[in-house]
Amino acid sequence: MMRFIAVMLCIVALAGNARAQLPEDGGKYQIIVVTASTPSPLGARLLSLIQSDSKVASIAARCHVHQWTPQTKIYQARYARSLPATALPIVALARSDGGVIYKASGNAVPSTGADLAANLMDAAKMDRDNSPLRYSATADCPGGTCPTRPALPSLPSLPSFRPLDGLIPDTVTIDVQTPSVPKWAIAVVGGIVLIGCLGGLLLIAVVGLVAFVKLRG
């Protein structure tokens, strides 16, 4: 009987110790990868980057990584509308509440680990800059370099999952270009200014001539 009690106490102690060592990772980012059941060359390259590239693998180690196909039930239930399988593969970075902050699909998926890692880090940094109180530990961020932010009172609680409505476009970099002015428009404006100047000179000459005539008279 005493041996049985001792064994039970050991089991309880081991279970409690195991629970104490579980990491608190509920707020981690999620890396979502969607490929065909038999990955295409692009899909195989993406999977290789996630698993083998040192920079991407370092980020993935700090996130929850989900590798799905269009037939995966959780993908169909939560992400099929927002991340449609019309252009595979898909790689996305989502917050713990389901909000997607980065997405690339098809030929837009970065071809190198350096580019993919940079895109993921930029998206995470922008998300933290826009929502500085969402996470509080460096382990919550890809790269583990998140700055400490002060907490504010009355912070509303976040839902465990936020449904996604509508198609999420690929994340792209937009180059702002200054629109060019047609040459004919410049010529027209210059002509108007020149005519205005000549008209002003003519008016001054007429007024001067009238004044001169009056003085002579």
How does pLDDT run across 6-16, given as a tens digit for each residue?
544 444 444 44
Please say whether the beta carbons of 151 and 134 come within 8 A: no
Which CATH number fits the domain that encloses residue 50?
Answer: 3.40.30.10
Interval 165-208: pLDDT, tens: 566 778 754 344 445 566 666 777 777 877 877 777 777 877 77
Residue 17 CA to residue 148 CA, distance in Å, equals 29
Its pTM stands at 0.56
- Look at residue 126 and tell me if it is in a domain: yes
- Confirm whether 173 is domain-assigned: no
Domain count, the chain: 1
Residue 117 lies in a domain: yes
The parent domain of residue 30 ranges over 26-134
108 within some domain = yes
Q: Residues of the chain whose pLDDT is less than 50?
A: 4-5, 7-24, 135-138, 148-161, 163-164, 173-178
